[in-house]
Amino acid sequence: MQNAKPLPSYLIQRYHGWRATTYSDNKAWYRRLAESGQHPRAMVISCCDSRVHVTSIFGADEGEFFIHRNIANLVPPYTPDGKNHGTSATVEYAVQALKVAHIVVLGHSNCGGIKGCHDMCSGTAPELLESSSFVGRWMDILRPGFERVKDVDEADRTRALEKEAVLISLENLMTFPFVKTAVEDDRLTIHGLWTDVGEGALEQYDPAMGRFVKI
Amino acid sequence: MQNAKPLPSYLIQRYHGWRATTYSDNKAWYRRLAESGQHPRAMVISCCDSRVHVTSIFGADEGEFFIHRNIANLVPPYTPDGKNHGTSATVEYAVQALKVAHIVVLGHSNCGGIKGCHDMCSGTAPELLESSSFVGRWMDILRPGFERVKDVDEADRTRALEKEAVLISLENLMTFPFVKTAVEDDRLTIHGLWTDVGEGALEQYDPAMGRFVKI
Amino acid sequence: MQNAKPLPSYLIQRYHGWRATTYSDNKAWYRRLAESGQHPRAMVISCCDSRVHVTSIFGADEGEFFIHRNIANLVPPYTPDGKNHGTSATVEYAVQALKVAHIVVLGHSNCGGIKGCHDMCSGTAPELLESSSFVGRWMDILRPGFERVKDVDEADRTRALEKEAVLISLENLMTFPFVKTAVEDDRLTIHGLWTDVGEGALEQYDPAMGRFVKI
Amino acid sequence: MQNAKPLPSYLIQRYHGWRATTYSDNKAWYRRLAESGQHPRAMVISCCDSRVHVTSIFGADEGEFFIHRNIANLVPPYTPDGKNHGTSATVEYAVQALKVAHIVVLGHSNCGGIKGCHDMCSGTAPELLESSSFVGRWMDILRPGFERVKDVDEADRTRALEKEAVLISLENLMTFPFVKTAVEDDRLTIHGLWTDVGEGALEQYDPAMGRFVKI
């Protein structure tokens, strides 16, 4: 691996600062986490977007959330075909090995992946249709969601699709036999959230209302 | 989606606390992030492990890092087969759409996924060999790494494999044509890090030394 | 321009060192900054004093802070008289063109400009009263601040005036219509800091307490 | 000053990190700087642009450079009219009080202020002509520079203007009687530099060649 470069020095300085303060003040906790292993209460499936920090929103410290982040917080349907499926592996590990009590899918506003999916499905982003487009093929997971929102007013459609991405992920989660069993046995609950980055709002899906409701 | 449940109230309370303080004090920044879009400097590929918060270690706020988290911070080799590849989609989006200047792969000590890979390859975890094991099939990505460390002393072998996971990921990153081109054009640099959760140590891969070196 | 001289060779050597190391290691980031433009999160108004490096205190790298430095970190009141006003131009550019989310005014201990203002207002520096004294006329901006601290014990008066300089600047910032509007619309927040050079302390103005409080 | 807000918490954490490491390791130097005052060797006049850190390029520590930063690193002509002139005050303080040995004017590529000046003078940015435009009135200082480059090929004109900004500033510096005297007495030398942000190049003005030459 000859291509690896040294870390920029401002990050090295910040790391040393962290070690001299946050780490140093909490050494006992970090050591215990290392020795006793992690026992997170919840798994969070969130977007890679740099603007969404679930640990900040929920004041979560090291050890609290097992966090998977991918483009547009999507979970594909259960497909045990012997190929590698990174997201499915995180769900399996969280439920089977860590036995988390909650899986939270957290969508968000201004999502670039969702916008891409919208444009691809509307025919204005042909490059995402290419077989070689990883983003396009990943966003295929959300195609059934696009079908459900295509008659929504154009101004509101992307936002509606962001929320569908959460619902599609929850639905796909339930296709995993070990998730379904754990939910039915009351050993696991699943939750759908959507946050507005600019307004700091948080909404959760309410099955009784059939829509997302502000918290 | 009838299975979605309301969020536990302790999380709702923490969210309201965050909104009344952190969000409220930084509203201007969140709004600008929403309106002007994200311009993250770096992508970080880290583990889902609840004990590793890269934003804490590097004092990074919203908008700074585009973060993908999966089991064992692995990147699979470039495989444009038209199937969905969540990790490859994150790399493509970071490099092609966001044009990040750095990709940092951050491994860590006490990694459950790496331990599983070690056991699977050593023959003590036959369940991970099942075709239906998502974790097993995901950890197959690291098999070439296991070959390289299998003669290491057993006491040190898992740790060595954790570091190989970082190197394998860097190597696989370079199989993506758009990553290779960007690295060769000096528009992207890649970095390999490994952190010791209990000791708060940080090491980076130094190609000249051929090993990880403490920062 | 016949008077320009070659740069001292120690600076040329240091530049070549920087180019071979820091620049070379971070070339991708510098190129992106050049091509995609700057998107700084904050403007910092700080003193020219050689002892105050805001980028060091906050571990900030290129691209992070838009920095104006003048004598005593002063902002004059809004005066759109068609004359050239360098500081007002920096504020206008930061808020209107760059749309920064924060303006931080950073005062400091042992400030020579503030000491001069104190002496001028106390009558012990008549040369600063001359119409031709640029420093004197610049420090006139702080005269209302001197009025507020003139009854403070002499031992503490200069330090009190350093902090008044921060408050006067924040007050003057609010006289710019585009600053006021942005603050009222929650698109900009303003912050008053003061640092003790020798002690490495940092204080921020707390409106509820009506004074600077140690961070 | 009721509008001041608390500093974002990531900056507070970074500050504590700096204090526990950089400050702590260099306490003796910071204390001496506080007690013995600053004795900078050079004044640097640089742009506010977040991408240009003169302390990084020249490896300069606290105490070394007295730094004034404004839009487009401009110095206005000597105008002792009793009004406040922030830039002139910094020059006066550096030369008369600190007796610096060098004044370095550092221009740079991709300068937004210079681009604005170019557009204003070309007639494509009428808003900058408004009497109330602080940026426009500040960039008026560079109008004589625009006259000199207006016949340059359009592709190269902005870059040529960035370099003229450095020369105009050096010329204007020489209109200050105390600068002229100090230069003639060999107590002060002045230097014109221009840096290419993306390429990390540094050029200096060579009066014999009549142009900027790569260092």
Tokens standing for residue B179: 């990553």
Mean pLDDT of A114-125: 97
D108 annotated among ligand-binding-site residues: yes
A16 in contact with D, Cβ within 8 Å: yes
D12 in contact with A, Cβ within 8 Å: no
C85 in contact with D, Cβ within 8 Å: yes
- Quick one: pLDDT at residue D190? 98
- Nearest by CB to residue C183, choosing from D3, D133, D205, is D3
Quick: pLDDT tens for D115-138.
Answer: 999 999 999 999 999 999 999 999
Residue B38 identity (one-letter amino acid):
Q
Task: Evaluate whether A170 touches A192 at the Cβ level (below 8 Å).
Answer: yes
Cross-strand pairs, D116: none
Judging contacts by C-beta atoms under 8 Å, the chain C residues touching residue D140 are 84
- Nearest by CB to residue C89, choosing from D11, D56, D135, is D135
3-class DSSP assignment, residue B206: strand
Tokens standing for residue B142: 């690291």
| Rounded CA Rg of chain D | 19
C184 burial type by CB count under 10 A (0-12 exposed, 13-18 middle, 19+ buried): exposed
Where chain B has pLDDT below 70, the residues are none
- Quick one: pLDDT at residue C76? 98
Quick: pLDDT tens for A179-189.
Answer: 999 999 999 99
Quick: pLDDT tens for C53-89.
Answer: 999 999 999 999 999 999 999 999 999 999 999 999 9
Judging contacts by C-beta atoms under 8 Å, the chain A residues touching residue C29 are 8
Sequence-distant (6+) residues with CB within 8 A of C24 are D200
Q: Do D37 and C183 touch (CB under 8 A)?
A: no
The model's confidence at residue D87, banded by pLDDT at 50, 70 and 90, is very high
B48 annotated among ligand-binding-site residues: no
The ipTM of this complex is 0.97
Tokens standing for residue D42: 């050079």
Distance CA A59, CA D118 (A): 49
- Quick one: pLDDT at residue D68? 98
Q: Do D51 and C34 touch (CB under 8 A)?
A: yes
Quick: pLDDT tens for C10-47.
Answer: 999 999 999 999 999 999 999 999 999 999 999 999 99
Judging contacts by C-beta atoms under 8 Å, the chain D residues touching residue A25 are none
Distance CA B33, CA A51 (A): 7
The subunits that touch chain C, with at least 3 C-beta pairs less than 8 Å apart, are A, B, D
Q: Do A18 and D18 touch (CB under 8 A)?
A: no
Tokens standing for residue D191: 């230097």
- Quick one: pLDDT at residue B148? 97
Indicate the Cα dihedral angle A33, B44, B64, A134, nearest 10°: -130
Distance CA A110, CA D129 (A): 36
- Quick one: pLDDT at residue B141? 98
Q: Do D8 and B61 touch (CB under 8 A)?
A: yes
- Nearest by CB to residue C22, choosing from A9, A13, A14, is A9
Sequence-distant (6+) residues with CB within 8 A of C9 are none
Distance CA B193, CA B203 (A): 6
- Quick one: pLDDT at residue C66? 98
Distance CA D119, CA D121 (A): 5
The C-alpha of B60 sits at a distance from chain D's nearest C-alpha, in angstroms, of 7
A residues 142-161 closer than 8 Å to B (CB)? none
D13 in contact with A, Cβ within 8 Å: yes
B152 burial type by CB count under 10 A (0-12 exposed, 13-18 middle, 19+ buried): middle
Percent of chain A at pLDDT exceeding 90: 100
Q: What number of helices (H) and strands (E) belong to chain C?
A: 10, 6
User: H or E element: which one contains B154?
Assistant: helix B154-173
Tokens standing for residue A204: 């959760």
Quick: pLDDT tens for C147-170.
Answer: 999 999 999 999 999 999 999 999
C2 burial type by CB count under 10 A (0-12 exposed, 13-18 middle, 19+ buried): exposed
Distance of CA A42 to the CA centre of its chain: 12
Give me the count of residues in chain D. 215
The C-alpha of C160 sits at a distance from chain D's nearest C-alpha, in angstroms, of 15
- Quick one: pLDDT at residue C31? 96
Mean pLDDT of A55-78: 96
Burial string for B96-124 (b: 16+ CB within 10 Å, else e) reads: bebbbbbbbbbbbbbbbbbbbbbbbbeee
User: What is the arrangement of strands in the sheet containing B211-214, beginning at the earlier edge strand?
Assistant: A211-214, A201-206, A189-196, A102-108, A42-47, A65-70, B65-70, B42-47, B102-108, B189-196, B201-206, B211-214
In Å, how far are A34, A93, B64, D184 from B166, measured between CA atoms? 19, 20, 22, 61
In chain D, the residue whose alpha carbon lies closest to the alpha carbon of A18 is D17
- Quick one: pLDDT at residue B184? 96
Among D16, A65, A7, A26, residue whose Cα is nearest residue B199: A26
Q: Do D33 and C58 touch (CB under 8 A)?
A: no
In chain B, the residue whose alpha carbon lies closest to the alpha carbon of D7 is B25
Tokens standing for residue B126: 């036959």
Task: Evaluate whether C46 touches C73 at the Cβ level (below 8 Å).
Answer: yes
D48 annotated among ligand-binding-site residues: no
Residue D59 identity (one-letter amino acid):
G
B107 in contact with A, Cβ within 8 Å: no
The model's confidence at residue A157, banded by pLDDT at 50, 70 and 90, is very high
In chain D, the residue whose alpha carbon lies closest to the alpha carbon of C93 is D135
Q: Do C60 and A8 touch (CB under 8 A)?
A: no
Mean pLDDT of C98-119: 97
A123 in contact with B, Cβ within 8 Å: no
Distance CA D65, CA D60 (A): 7
User: What is the number of other CB atoms lying within 10 angstroms of the CB of residue B178?
Assistant: 14
Distance CA B146, CA A177 (A): 30
Q: Do B32 and C99 touch (CB under 8 A)?
A: yes
Quick: pLDDT tens for B96-125.
Answer: 999 999 999 999 999 999 999 999 999 999
Residue C101 identity (one-letter amino acid):
A
Among A76, A175, A167, A158, residue whose Cα is nearest residue A124: A158
Side-chain half-sphere exposure of B42, counting CA atoms within 13 A: 23
Distance CA C81, CA D81 (A): 15
Distance CA C11, CA C94 (A): 31
- Quick one: pLDDT at residue C184? 96
- Quick one: pLDDT at residue D210? 97
User: H or E element: which one contains D203?
Assistant: strand D201-206
C62 in contact with D, Cβ within 8 Å: yes
**DSSP conformation class of C92:** H
Distance CA C56, CA C59 (A): 5
Strand locations in chain A (E): 42-47, 65-70, 102-108, 189-196, 201-206, 211-214
Among C59, B134, B7, residue whose Cα is nearest residue A65: B7
Q: Do C59 and A13 touch (CB under 8 A)?
A: yes
D177 in contact with C, Cβ within 8 Å: no
As a whole number of angstroms, the longest Cα–Cα distance in chain B is 56
Q: All domains of chain D, ordered by start, with CATH?
A: 1-36 (no CATH), 38-214 (3.40.1050.10)
Among A184, D89, A152, residue whose Cα is nearest residue C117: D89
3-class DSSP assignment, residue C12: helix
Average pLDDT for chain A? 97
In Å, how far are B147, B212, D110, D196 from A3, measured between CA atoms? 22, 14, 29, 25
C29 in contact with A, Cβ within 8 Å: yes
Distance CA C138, CA C109 (A): 19
Sequence-distant (6+) residues with CB within 8 A of B81 are A131
Tokens standing for residue A163: 């929320």
